[in-house]
């Protein structure tokens, strides 16, 4: 698995404008924007996948790894990735619905 970085993320015309907004309005009490929350979530999912990949590699190369912990790490990474994809799909669906609104 290759780590997800800003260089690996596909930039489409639909999300390029949202990612390049200089002054995203803060939400929440800590002043974090939706953009920063989303990027932090992607980074967390990426780190889970990298950790799971390292655990599997360690298990297969004969390292000191507990198979149950490796399986748990892989399942957590899989669940986090699937959840992230569902959030992405819902965001794209909401964007499409807003785009199709007639004025």
pTM of the model: 0.65
How far, in Å, CA of 33 to CA of 25, rounded?
Answer: 6
Task: Give the tokens for residue 22.
Answer: 């200089």
Environment class of 41 (CB within 10 Å of its CB; exposed 0-12, middle 13-18, buried 19+):
middle
pLDDT (tens digit, 9 = 90+) per residue, 64-79? 889 999 999 999 999 9
pLDDT (tens digit, 9 = 90+) per residue, 16-55? 455 555 554 555 556 678 889 989 999 999 999 999 999 9
């Amino acid at each position: 698995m290759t780590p997800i970085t800003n260089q690996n993320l596909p930039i489409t015309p639909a999300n390029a404008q949202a990612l390049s907004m200089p002054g995203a309005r803060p939400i929440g009490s800590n002043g974090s924007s939706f953009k920063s929350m989303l990027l932090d979530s992607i980074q967390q999912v990426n780190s889970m996948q990298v950790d799971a990949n390292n655990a599997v590699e360690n298990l297969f190369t004969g390292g000191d790894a507990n198979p149950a912990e490796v399986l748990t790490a892989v399942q957590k990474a899989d669940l986090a990735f699937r959840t992230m994809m569902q959030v992405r799909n819902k965001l794209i669906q909401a964007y499409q619905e807003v785009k199709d609104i007639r004025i």
